[in-house]
Amino acid sequence: MTRSELPRLALIAALSALALGCATQEESQETTDAFSVPVEYHTLDNGLKVVLSPDTTSPIVTVAVYYNIGFRIEPKERTGFAHLFEHMMFQGSANLGKMEFIQLVQQNGGILNGSTRYDFTNYFEIVPSHKLETMLWAEADRLRGLAITEENLKNQRDVVKNEVRVNVLNQPYGGFPWLDVPQVAFTNWYNSHNFYGEMADLDAASLSDVERFFKSYYAPNNAALVVVGDFESKQALTWIREYFADIPRAETAALPDISEPPQKEERHGSRVAPQANRPALAFAYRMPDRGSPEYFALGVLDQILLQGDDSLLHQALVQRNGFTDQVEGGINWPLGHMFNYNGPTLWMASLYHDSSVKGDQIMREVDGAIGTLQSTPVDQAALDRALAKWRSSFYDAVGSDFGFGRADLLACFALFDDDPAQINTLDQRLREVTPELVQTVAKRYLRAADRTIYTIEPGAEKGQGGAQ
């Protein structure tokens, strides 16, 4: 999970509002909204989904490939495989030796990264625009012929295991709350196993296991390729066809059932963290179905309750009571946002607080803030303020990291919904949320029976605690 290593780069100041038509017989989309992201959508004969989104603001391009395999849909007894493959993809291919993919990008003035999330593993490069063809060739090369060798497997398995030690086992709050809370909030193994992977599963990985995993999930018909930036669409599509079209589709593994049974009562989990110096608390509620009116209403509630210094929880926990200096969270937080997941997910918040403050005190304030929204509809001014904050955050996401933020949205809408153009409908869906719907969703979804509370206590007993 190396996404966090990417520096936060300057935002693209504005996006082109050009609505480019697609001069092919394949699906195309034009929009006329005031703020409109160009979207050209194609599907190759081998099933590869291709999204092109030109933007001439800067002479750069972002190439992103998303595979529909994340750590919650990896096979049972193969925990950690999705993440392991994120590393394997940089170890060489048919025409590029070990580390040469990385060198190819960096020596051409670009940056690159990859990450593993709940429902996908992604790879992207941001390079000068005249290097687009080179990046397309390189991405196709490793999809066509990844170097799966005993040496690479052993090396990267050790790297992944060391990453677990560094980021989780030897960190004061390692894995909090993203590893801790889902294991308590959900009961379906796919949503609640150790996403970083069990050491035993990683140790047991054989070369044939890894080869089978690659064939099952790394196929053009299980992927979305997105190009964002300064390029000419017809030429880009020609190159994509040249390098990707003859990669055969594969019989991909069926996605598992990741549905969750209804939650009937509040759940609690805890652990003692030997290296922690103060307690921590997280609380999480289950989200409505992705894309539903209730889902967008919870997007509004997230803004009202949690986002920014004017949010109700910041006012209650930081400003008024001084329990903490920061409360943070969101939908699909902290590994994503409200659009880049595809299954049961949580709206979650967490804070680190003084030892003199009890968890019950914190949760009473949380209940008080939520209770005001359950008892009385928000006024139009509060709703408008929430929408303005959401819109600002959305524009930041679309323009972030030299085009990667836009590529991320387009890839997920293509991969999960087969509809990348819905990026241009989100603002309208949010504007359809009414005060009455906000109140209804607060009463239905932000109730104790649908809640999970997880706490960390500082202590000296190494390894004690766990889900209750």
User: How far is the CA of 407 from the CAs of 179, 197, 413, in angstroms?
Assistant: 26, 28, 10
- Residue 50 exposed, middle or buried by CB count within 10 Å (0-12, 13-18, 19+): buried
pLDDT of residue 468: 32
What is the Cα–Cα distance from 3 to 112, expressed in whole angstroms? 10
Nearest CA to 407 out of 106, 102, 115, 130 is that of 115
pLDDT of residue 461: 56
User: Please, are residues 348 and 177 in contact by the beta-carbon 8 Å criterion?
Assistant: yes
User: How far is the CA of 248 from the CAs of 44, 90, 441, in angstroms?
Assistant: 11, 21, 45
What is the Cα–Cα distance from 110 to 90, expressed in whole angstroms? 15
> How confident is the prediction along the chain (468 residues), in pLDDT tens digits per residue?
443 333 333 222 222 222 222 333 344 444 444 679 999 999 999 999 999 999 999 999 999 999 999 999 998 888 999 999 899 999 999 999 999 999 999 999 999 999 999 999 999 999 999 999 999 999 999 999 999 999 999 999 999 999 989 988 889 999 999 999 999 999 999 999 999 888 898 898 889 988 999 999 999 999 999 999 999 999 999 999 999 999 999 998 889 999 999 999 999 999 999 889 999 999 999 999 999 999 999 999 999 999 999 999 999 999 999 999 999 999 999 999 999 999 999 999 999 999 999 999 999 999 999 999 999 999 999 999 999 999 999 999 898 888 899 999 999 999 999 999 999 999 999 999 999 999 999 999 999 999 999 999 998 654 444 333
pLDDT of residue 35: 78
The tokens describing 312, both together, are 């109700």
At position 41, the amino acid (one-letter code) is Y
End-to-end CA distance of the chain: 27
| Residue 171 CB partners (closer than 8 Å, separation 6+) | 275
Give the distance from CA 424 to its chain's centroid: 19
What is the Cα–Cα distance from 433 to 338, expressed in whole angstroms? 16
Query: SS3 for the chain, per residue?
Result: CCHHHCCCCCCCCCCCCCCCCCCCCCCEECCCCCCCCCEEEEECCCCCEEEEEECCCCCEEEEEEEECCCCCCCCCCCCCHHHHHHHHCCCCECCCCCCHHHHHHHCCCCEEEEEECCCCEEEEEEEEHHHHHHHHHHHHHHHHCECCCHHHHHHHHHHHHHHHHHHHHCCCCCCCCCCHHHHHHCCCHHHHCCCCCCHHHHHHCCHHHHHHHHHHHCCHHHEEEEEEECCCHHHHHHHHHHHHCCCCCCCCCCCCCCCCCCCCCCEEEEEEECCCCCCEEEEEEECCCCCCHHHHHHHHHHHHHCCCCCCHHHHHHHHHCCCCCCEEEEECCCCCCCCCCCCCCEEEEEEECCCCCCHHHHHHHHHHHHHHHHHCCCCHHHHHHHHHHHHHHHHHHHHHHHHHHHHHHHHHHHHHHCCHHHHHCHHHHHHCCCHHHHHHHHHHHCCHHHEEEEEEEECCCCCCEEEC
CA dihedral 260, 428, 121, 96 (to 10 degrees): 170
